[in-house]
């Protein structure tokens, strides 16, 4: 039996025609059993993968946890197997809609990184501070900012917490490995210091106006949703038409990240841009995507990464650097300018934030924020953005009364 070369990116052929496993894109031998994908070993070890498959086959086909796992998991749980089990479990969350596919993809990339750094056959319970120091060094070769490192460490530890003991763990290992001091999340003071050094991560009004002037219809509408409503990449990508009331100037689309209810007054500029974008909208190739406002020129729904990519291209075109070109900074700008009105509850309703569970005022309060408060915040952001084109003050018209509403609703 020939052993495939795992150093290449091309999938190896089966060692012989009757070999029961196939080469999966995750560089492992796999087989679907009872509608679920199972992994049995690296491409480089088809012999070992076959042995594991034959050992587990009867249990898997009967719908049972393999005896090899249930009887000796603390001795046999390798890094590769932990990664495979974790991804299998999270795939169910993706199918149920509890997890975004992009989140699963991020976990898969971290799993592949651990396999590469630790070794596929390294035993999870024998990992120690030296191993996690090497992983931290590897992370820093691609992720330079502390905020990224902070997120990376959290996602990696999720694998071990899931496999570990306790009510929330699966019990595959009796204890968590020792991560060591170098694999702790950065301190709050270090993160705050980095934020101070990098600046506010918000756009100037002139930058946003330049972006709007150079954007094509769909991207122009998304930019306006970002600064008007605090929408992020995924919000724009998944926005359904029935969540927009353009005749009255309101959007009622729960935040995609946490399903918290939002209600957003729409500016006249945002309404006009949405009408133009929807009029030019391609018919999606798949009818199930008919409930998306934004469709690409290839008749596919926009993905969050595509929103970011198109925004970055435009930002560079109008003279910004790639480091400045983050679509999500529109949301940060919306929050920073809106908070100047000093109505935190209105800002939370616009952004889809909730109070901390320890804040009992938030627990007791069940009243919705009134529309007039939402309009006041949104009007302030509008006047900040278009201040060079607006002759009235930011919050009041010349007679001392609130300025007229900006969209049809107002």
Position 144 scores a pLDDT of 72
Q: How confident is the model at residue 337 (pLDDT cuts 50, 70, 90)?
A: very high
Q: How confident is the model at residue 72 (pLDDT cuts 50, 70, 90)?
A: very low
The structure tokens listed for 344 are 């935190």
pLDDT for 68 beyond 60: no
Q: How confident is the model at residue 243 (pLDDT cuts 50, 70, 90)?
A: very high
Position 274 scores a pLDDT of 97
pLDDT for 58 beyond 50: yes
Position 196 scores a pLDDT of 61
Domain boundaries, the chain: 65-194, 205-389
CATH number at 205-389: 1.10.443.10
Q: How confident is the model at residue 391 (pLDDT cuts 50, 70, 90)?
A: very low
pTM of the entire predicted model: 0.63
User: What gap in Å lies between CA 236 and CA 229, rounded to an integer?
Assistant: 10
């Amino acid at each position: 039996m020939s052993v495939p070369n795992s150093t290449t990116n091309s999938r190896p052929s089966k060692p012989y025609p009757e070999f029961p496993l196939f080469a999966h894109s995750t560089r492992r031998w796999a087989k679907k059993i009872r509608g679920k994908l199972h992994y049995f070993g690296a491409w480089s070890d088809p012999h070992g993968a076959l042995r594991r498959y034959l050992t587990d086959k009867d249990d898997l086909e009967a719908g049972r946890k393999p005896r090899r796992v249930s009887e000796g998991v603390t001795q046999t749980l390798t890094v590769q197997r932990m990664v495979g089990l974790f991804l299998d479990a999270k795939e169910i969350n993706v199918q149920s809609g509890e997890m975004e596919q992009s989140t699963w993809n991020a976990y898969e990339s971290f799993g592949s990184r651990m396999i590469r750094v630790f070794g596929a056959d390294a035993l999870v319970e024998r990992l120690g501070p030296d191993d996690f120091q090497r992983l931290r060094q590897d992370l820093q070769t691609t992720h330079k900012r502390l905020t990224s490192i902070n997120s990376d460490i959290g996602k990696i530890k999720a694998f071990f917490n899931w496999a570990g003991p306790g009510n929330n763990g699966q019990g595959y290992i009796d204890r968590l490995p020792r991560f060591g001091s170098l694999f702790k999340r950065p301190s709050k003071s270090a993160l705050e210091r980095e934020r101070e050094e990098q600046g506010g991560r918000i756009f100037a009004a002139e930058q946003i106006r330049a972006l709007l002037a150079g954007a094509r219809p769909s991207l122009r509408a998304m930019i306006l949703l970002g600064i008007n409503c605090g929408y992020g990449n995924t919000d724009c990508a998944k926005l359904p038409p029935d969540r927009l009331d353009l005749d009255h100037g309101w959007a009622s689309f729960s935040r995609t990240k946490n399903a918290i209810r939002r209600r957003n007054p729409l500016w006249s500029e945002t309404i006009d841009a949405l009408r133009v974008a929807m009029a030019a909208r391609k018919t999606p190739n798949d009818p199930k995507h008919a409930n998306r406002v934004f469709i690409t020129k290839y008749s596919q729904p926009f993905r969050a990464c595509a929103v970011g990519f198109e925004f970055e291209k435009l930002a560079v075109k109008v003279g910004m650097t790639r480091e400045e070109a983050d679509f999500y900074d529109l949301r940060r700008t919306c929050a920073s300018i809106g908070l100047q009105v000093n109505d935190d509850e209105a800002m939370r309703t616009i952004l889809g934030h909730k109070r901390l569970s320890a804040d009992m005022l938030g627990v007791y309060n069940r009243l919705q924020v009134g529309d007039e408060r939402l309009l006041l915040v949104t009007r302030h952001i509008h006047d900040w953005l278009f201040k060079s084109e607006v002759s009235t003050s930011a919050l009041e018209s010349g007679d001392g009364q609130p300025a007229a509403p900006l969209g049809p609703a107002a």
